[in-house]
Amino acid sequence: MKRFPKVVLFVSYTFFSSFCLAEGFANGLTVVEVRTDRSGKGLIKFSNLLEKTPPSCASSNARHLSFNTNNAGGRAILSLALSAQAQGAKVYARGTGACNDYSSVETWNWGYIKD
């Protein structure tokens, strides 16, 4: 009976950590393409696949992160992406682990440019 709690804890940790750690990471990638739609939603395509583990909803778009220009954060992301693309600078960014803007593209969480 003492072993049961340890087994439950291990299974719970394994199951939930796969969801918590499912975030893509642009680790020093360059911006290849920036796209925005009339709706205000947009996406950034990077030069290579995102590292870590992008969420399953984004498995077909593992080089992309999305944003929404209908809020200040999304407009800042658009500015950052266009600036990085124009400079050929490297971007470091992490996704949220969810596909909120598009059903098949992970949503941008935070990021920065570094030469």
Q: Which residue has the higher pLDDT, 4 or 99?
A: 99
CATH number of 23-114: 2.40.50
Residue 16 has pLDDT above 70, yes or no: no
Per-residue pLDDT of 22-52, as tens digits, reads 799 999 999 999 999 999 999 999 999 999 9
Domain boundaries, the chain: 23-114
Residue 4 has pLDDT above 90, yes or no: no
Please provide residue 95's backbone torsions phi and psi, each rounded to the nearest 5 degrees.
-85, 170
CB-based contact 32:80 (threshold 8 Å): no
Question: In 3-state terms, what secondary structure has residue 17?
Answer: helix
Would you state the pLDDT for residue 18?
Answer: 42
pLDDT of 115 reads 77
Q: What pLDDT shows up at residue 54?
A: 87
Length of the chain: 115
**Taken in order 109, 79, 52, 46, is the CA torsion positive or negative?**
positive
Dump pLDDT digits (tens) for 63-72: 999 999 999 9
Across the strands, what pairs with 93? 26, 111
pLDDT at 17: 41
Q: What is the Cα–Cα distance from 40 to 70, expressed in whole angstroms?
A: 6
